[in-house]
A and B are shown apart, each in its own frame.
Chain A
Amino acid sequence: MKFVDEFRDGDLARRLCSEIDRLSRGQSLKIMEICGGHTHTIYKHGIEDVLPPNIDMVHGPGCPVCVLPMGRIDDAIAIARQPGVIFVTFGDMMRVPGSKSSLLDARAEGADVRFVYSPLDALKIAHQNPDKQVVFFAIGFETTAPSTAVTLLRAQAEKIKNFSVFCNHVLVIPAIQAILDSPDMRLDGFLGPGHVCMVIGMRPFAFVARDYRKPVVLSGFEPLDIIQSVYMTVKQLDEGRREVENQYARVVRPEGNLKALEAMEKTMEGRPFFEWRGLGFISHSALKLRPEFAEWDAEKRFEVPGIRVADPPACQCGEVLKGAIKPWECKVFGTACTPETPIGTCMVSSEGACAAYFNYGRFSLAAQRNRLPVIDLTAPTGANLKDS
């Protein structure tokens, strides 16, 4: 990327951090970054280490893999195991555990499960295999839903009959509202998910500032983007303003991408309820195919168990996803639950808060801040945690 150095200028980062320190005046402030991409940048670049200690970054539910309940994974596996089906998914979903197994296990047992980078590739597979039923496992927020919508419109235009979509797209705004309404939640501001906003624009976030009196800053993904967004949030708080501001103006347009919204509107509609792992049922928080697209709807074409599966009792992903606890505060973090043997979804995806804590050694910082035994920061993280 041509301008990457501009967004990683250490001096500028330090200057911004001292401004954050000055404006926040030692007040304890909790700021939630909603997006998994932001969580990743924060851990990878050690942003928590340079922010003043009174600024607490709370990691939100912005990883679409982490929030998918196990029952939906079981449904996907049930479709994949049906004879004559080619089940196509993004690579991230292959190892996500359902209640008994994963899609990777299903493949090892003979199911035809393939991974792609785009739903359009799933459509190509359908073209190449006219005697098979090709099912695309659609997951993701509003950034990913347009690619599913475009694929459905192409399937309709090309009259492709052996293709369908198992739709699990979720929506950011109802999740934020659920978090804001949660009684155990105390947040002072939000960093908005930059690429979701590239699609939906700025307006859907207005209620957070207006009704809940919390600042929202739509943020980019480079380290300086995030530090500047924290600065803008703290500045709003200091000046008594509660607004939606756009730090990521080089990408986010106030109106979003109108053609993408139109494509989503043509092909999908809201589900009355959808279960989010860790957050429970949230109304109007997910999308399903419109009745006009019923012939491409895998839930209409195939029998799925549709059984709700409770999270393992040791799992505290819900509290992590709401920011009520830090990943390392979960009882099984780094012991029974690791990226190699995940118990909860926050450890499954590399964007999940627990996996990021584990992989980038944030655990040791958390230990220092909380006066737990300090772990050697120079040692490989995995070794630290395995030895502890």
Chain B
Amino acid sequence: MTTQLDPACPSDSAGHCVTCADEARSVLVVSLDPAMGMALVTAQEPETGEEIEDGSEVDISLLEEVGPGDILLVHGGVALSNQTRPTGVELYERGRDKQI
């Protein structure tokens, strides 16, 4: 058994700091505000699956397509990856593979 001491740099409930870890967190899209390039999301505690955040907003301007129900990876309030939808490059490559 180990005891966590208070590090100089605060960490989350999973024991680490999202910025220091350069790590993205997974969120679920609830609704969209396309005019503002934002989405309302909920986040889950990775260890327990328990909902830890309700109704936070993330920027979706760096994603090609987003819809309610999509799972995004977010870092610093900005979504960097849509785990639910393929990117344009992937769609192009699938089409190219079919042609070949």
Give A residues with C-beta under 8 Å from B. Answer: 1-2, 4, 35-37, 40, 44, 62-66, 90-97, 117-121, 139-141, 143-144, 146-148, 150, 193, 195-196, 198-199, 221, 250-251, 253, 255, 257-260, 263, 338-340, 342, 347-352, 355, 358-361, 378-383
Contacts and interface: CB of A to CB of B under 8 A. Distances in A.
A348 B46 contact: no
Q: How large is the interface on B (under 10, 10 to 19, 20 to 34, 35 or more residues)?
A: 35 or more
B22 interface: yes
Contact of A150 (B23, B61, B83, B89): B61
A143 B15 contact: no
SS class, residues of chain B in contact with chain A: loop
16 contacts: A1-B44, A35-B22, A40-B15, A44-B15, A92-B17, A118-B77, A119-B76, A143-B75, A147-B76, A347-B8, A349-B9, A351-B20, A351-B21, A378-B1, A382-B3, A382-B5
B7 A140 contact: no
Interface of B: 1-11, 15-24, 26, 44, 46-47, 49, 59, 61-64, 73, 75-78, 80-81, 83, 87, 89-90
B20, B63, B78: residue with the most chain A Cβ atoms closer than 10 Å: B20
A257 B72 CA distance: 13
Contacts, number: 191
B77 A342 contact: no
B15, B22, B81: residue with the most chain A Cβ atoms closer than 10 Å: B22
Contact of B20 (A146, A257, A349): A349
A303 to B, nearest CB: 27
